[in-house]
A = this chain, B = another copy of it.
Amino acid sequence: MSNRFNDSTYWRAFGENDITHSAGHYLMAIDALRDEYGYARVTDVAETLEISRSAASMAISQLKRRGWVSEDRNRFLLLTEDGAEMARLVEGNFAILSKFFEEVLGAEPDVAKADACKMEHLMSLETGRRLVWLMRHVLNDSSRAADIQKVMTRFARDKEPEDPAGPDADKGSN
């Protein structure tokens, strides 16, 4: 059996990500709060994310130890340079994925955002950049965009129960 199941470096890498789903949202919350109010406290982050203050407190301690969050002289929360970079990465991945799901694939906005939110911290910088590039150069070309729209409209019309991988997907590839 020589497929990806034999190679634990693949599937177990899930747990060794640069950033967890929740960490990404802590960073983005701090960023958004500073944008809007000029400062961010533990309590504000907890409120924004609708979790307990204690959970926010402990999680933010981790983020400080990891060098992504610091405090100003008034003990207000700051993103370090690395922290801001991670926040931008996750934010950017969310933006591009939800845009792709909605505008190219024609998914419902809610579905597009839910899927994007779950995947945002997992897509590599490299792949994210490639997707941005494609979107920019395909969608901004109105003829190509219309082309794709036509195809996806046909999808909406022809839609029938079918295997998500489809007959020509290379199942168990590697």
Interface residues of A (CB under 8 A from B): 1, 3-6, 8, 10-14, 17, 21-22, 25, 28-29, 32-33, 36, 48-51, 88-89, 91-93, 95-96, 98-99, 101, 104-108, 111-115, 117-119, 122-134, 136-138, 144, 147-148, 151-152, 154-155, 159, 162-166, 168-174
Contacts and interface: CB of A to CB of B under 8 A. Distances in A.
A115 to B, nearest CB: 5
Secondary structure class of chain A's binding surface, majority of residues:
helix
B49 A5 contact: yes
A164 to B, nearest CB: 4
B91 A172 contact: yes
**Shortest Cβ-Cβ A-B pairs, 7 listed:** A92-B165, A8-B50, A92-B164, A105-B130, A118-B122, A95-B169, A128-B164
Contacts of A5: 25, 28-29, 32, 48-49
A137 B117 contact: no
Copies of the protein in its oligomer:
2
A10 B98 CA distance: 13
Contacts of A50: 8, 12
